[in-house]
Structure 1
């Protein structure tokens, strides 16, 4: 989880920097990206992600909520109309692990919580009159569902092997 968060955050940061050989950054940073409030928001989001990663084994659903909150809070200083896929990567990895190691009902709740958060994010932006990027959020939702499906498949395969071994 921590590696997914750090990798996603680093990728998001690098996309907003003019790297050697580039005329301009791949994505424009929000005005607050390099100011103190953007840095505080990013630091707080990182703390939430670390707490979520630490809780994942013992309390998976509260950990997922912390990771989703970190994704939303980490998106604020970017000045974008969606939660970028790299920012939601840690939550998707959490959905995978929850679907892999927990009962089916817990996995279903995890994927529904993640999808509801994405929908809620877009809904709040629409209610505030801010632009949204529904196509980007659709891609994030799709990868979240894929993470859940892969986790469910791993769990079911493990259960099938265990049932065959005991028979």
Structure 2
């Protein structure tokens, strides 16, 4: 017996396949190039007699040879040790920027790797970790803001030195907020997906329960009645006993066939169009004559009436209509205590199928603990139809259903 092949997993979009460490390493490389690109727009020398300005930024590639391995190590540790990774990136950024001597502060371009890592950590890690990373970045920027003027021989709030770290703080906060937004969006999407999966499991469980009930209940009721009849006439009417045993055999075989079809459908993976069971294997209104004959053989004559011109029905409507009639007849056999009932199938309206099953019995319709009518209501509700089941005013019980033929499946 060959096993059903498992479909390959769906790959995420290409950008999502890139690990966070790769984005961080790429941002670090861009930050290394920023002073080189910035020199093109700067004069080669500044006025040396102006104490408020530092020399133009020039990349220190010797220092970059030491700080780049540290930054790449931080990128590799970003998933496993996010706070350690952010701390290493901050240290590498500060050392590299001090080597540039670019206005003695941390320009926003030098913080590309840090804010990238901060955003990715916030998007992927718990809130406690993201807050610790943000505090680490803001603390480092504030400390550098206080120390940079002193290291350069100037005063805190002198000239144009104040401003670069302020921009870095703003960019860090924006990166953290973006990461939080992504984190919350992911959490919301996962919650919706889990809820949808739970609802799908519940719907499938109810569908299986309805199919099991509808497949077995009617036949078992007929088997019980025929077995009782055979036992009563076994000695006096052996011919009637043989007929009852034949009906039991037929009902048993039909029940086993229905169970095999249902279990086979449950074992099969859904087809490309989402249909697990071929339509021609599902029962439908074409089997009503045989169902009426089996019910008549069980002792309840079925008056089957067709109104309007019979025409093909959608598979879900055809199956639901058959199950409604089947369960209603099973309830008549088990609970009504009458010799006959009437089934009317109405095809006169082009956009609607009507069903009417009535009897003049005791009027209960089902046992108090039964699930048959509950399952029928669920079936009809899923098809956007109307269902009623109640005692008749003049005695007996009546089941009616109206099933729309367009836009039926939810």
Which band: TM-score by shorter chain?
Answer: 0.7 to 0.9
What's the offset of the Cα at 1:122? Answer: 1.7
Equivalent in the alignment of 2:113: 90
Structure 2 Cα separation of the partners of residues 140 and 23 of structure 1:
21
1:43–1:85 CA distance, 2 compared to 1 (3 A): same
In structure 2, C-alpha distance between the alignment counterparts of 1:52 and 1:90, rounded to whole Å = 10
Structure-1 residue corresponding to 2:43: 24
Match of 1:100 in 2: 123
Distance in 2 between residues matched to 1:142 and 1:68, nearest whole Å: 16
Select the residue among 161, 176, 179 that pairs with 1:151.
179
* Residue 53 in structure 1 maps to residue 75 in structure 2: yes
CA distance in 1, matches of 2:164, 2:45: 16
Give the C-alpha shift of residue 154 in structure 1.
0.4
- Partners in 2 of 1:129 and 1:84 — Cα distance? 15
CA distance in 2, matches of 1:129, 1:11: 22
Does structure 1 residue 110 correspond to structure 2 residue 137?
Answer: no
Which one has a larger percent strand, Structure 1 or Structure 2?
Answer: 2
Equivalent in the alignment of 1:73: 95
TM-score (norm 1): 0.84
Q: Which residue of 1 aligns with 2:38?
A: 15
Q: Does 1:139 align with 2:162?
A: no
Q: 2 CA distance for matches of 1:134 and 1:101?
A: 33
Q: TM-score, normalised by structure 2?
A: 0.36
Flag the 1:26–1:64 CA change in 2: closer, same or farther, 3 A: farther
Structure showing greater Rg: 2
Contact 1:15–1:26, Cα closer than 8 Å, also in 2? no
Per-residue deviation, 1:109: 0.7
Shift of 1:91: 0.4
Structure 1 residue 62: Cα displacement: 0.5
Match of 2:153 in 1: 130
Q: Contact (CA 8 Å) 1:114, 1:144: kept in 2 or not? A: yes
- More helix as a share of residues: 1
- 1:50 is displaced (CA, Å) by 1.0
1:134 match: secondary structure:
coil
CA RMSD for the aligned pairs?
2.3
CA distance in 1, matches of 2:151, 2:33: 29
Structure 2, unpaired ranges of 5+ = 1-23, 47-54, 196-410
Whole-angstrom CA distance in 1 between matches of 2:80 and 2:166: 30
User: 1:160–1:56: structure 2 CA closer, same or farther, 3 Å change rule?
Assistant: same
Shift of 1:165: 2.2
